[in-house]
Structure 1
């Protein structure tokens, strides 16, 4: 029975990847001489970070709503590494993961790195504020993507999904599902990225 469940889960992951590729209208970038070498970072993966997949993909210019209520794009974070987390108020794994993301922001946030949280789908602002208050998070932004347009453009299937963008705004890593972002493995990877 367990073997069948594992095979079913593996098939679901394969199906998700296939759907992402089939539904995405974004082209995969052609390899270039300037492509990043992720070998050292891949070797650092352990624990939950084994789910972190490295590879370059285009960013997105689709607008979402800033915490202040204005339209903005991910270009606002260019010039630094951005860990972009798509979440929702109804997402139980998001509730567990968000304080860990806040810890990552406390430790690494600044001129070279920022954690960016974007609630995707229907997440009324009062519910978002209550979510952060209940879990004790005060240092992450309450951005929203009500129409899920940005999430769709970035190929987000299911929540939570976390992307790492390089200072040029390109996606360089993706983790589907929740992870312990306060773990030593996660912090080591972020430290290595920020250090260059």
Structure 2
């Protein structure tokens, strides 16, 4: 075999081997898109993960916190407000989802955007029976703007490195069988371990 043929064969093999992980990831993303049903059909799954700007928001003690402090698990990040009717409607489902699936590998993080006094969040959570969700706030809307949130509710799904892999605009039943099936697929594809539902 000539040196030129050997060089072409080596390059072709390297390209083929390098392309397979990309093709496999694209096939997995297409498989996730195929299992979207019900409210989950509104979820836009990106071809490749997107960086999220690590803008601080507030915890219940008015201390700054960032998403990078939460890396290491699949995160469903929901932007909401106490004055937003669709946001309020989906909170019990988000709470139930977190109670069922939340743990070492997955969590639901809610961030109240705009003017949402902690007292109002507490009153709403108590009335709605919300027990497992955090009471994070973004009063100046800096985090939501940096995340490209233009209306509410908006939900992002982040991988273990804190990159956005999917986004939904609008309300959804996040505790439905359709949501569980899709999120299980996300965890299997993007997580290191798969929790049991």
Match of 1:173 in 2: 166
CA contact (8 A) 2:154 2:169 kept: yes
Report the Cα distance in structure 1 between the residues aligned to 2:102 and 2:163, rounded to whole angstroms: 19
Q: Which has the larger radius of gyration?
A: 2
Q: What runs of 5+ residues in structure 1 fail to find an aligned partner?
A: 1-31
Can you list the C-alpha shifts for 1:128-163, whole angstroms capped at 9, x where unaligned?
111111111011000000010010001001100000
Runs of 4+ off more than 6 Å: none
Residue 123 of structure 1: SS of its match in structure 2? coil
* More moved, 68-77 vs 167-176: 68-77
CA contact (8 A) 2:78 2:153 kept: yes
Q: 1:155 to 1:138 in 2, by over 3 A?
A: same
Report the Cα distance in structure 2 between the residues aligned to 1:67 and 1:195, rounded to whole angstroms: 32
TM-score (norm 1): 0.80
State how 1:10-49 maps to structure 2 within 5 Å.
33=22, 36-37=25-26, 38-49=29-40
Alignment partner for residue 146 of structure 1, among 131, 139, 146? Answer: 139
Query: Is 2:105 the partner of 1:112?
Result: yes
* More moved, 95-104 vs 34-43: 34-43
Over the aligned positions, Cα root-mean-square deviation in angstroms equals 1.6
User: Size of the alignment, in residue pairs?
Assistant: 165
TM-score (norm 2): 0.80
Report the Cα distance in structure 1 between the residues aligned to 2:84 and 2:116, rounded to whole angstroms: 11
Query: Is 2:43 the partner of 1:52?
Result: yes
Report the Cα distance in structure 1 between the residues aligned to 2:42 and 2:174, rounded to whole angstroms: 12
Report the Cα distance in structure 1 between the residues aligned to 2:53 and 2:158, rounded to whole angstroms: 10
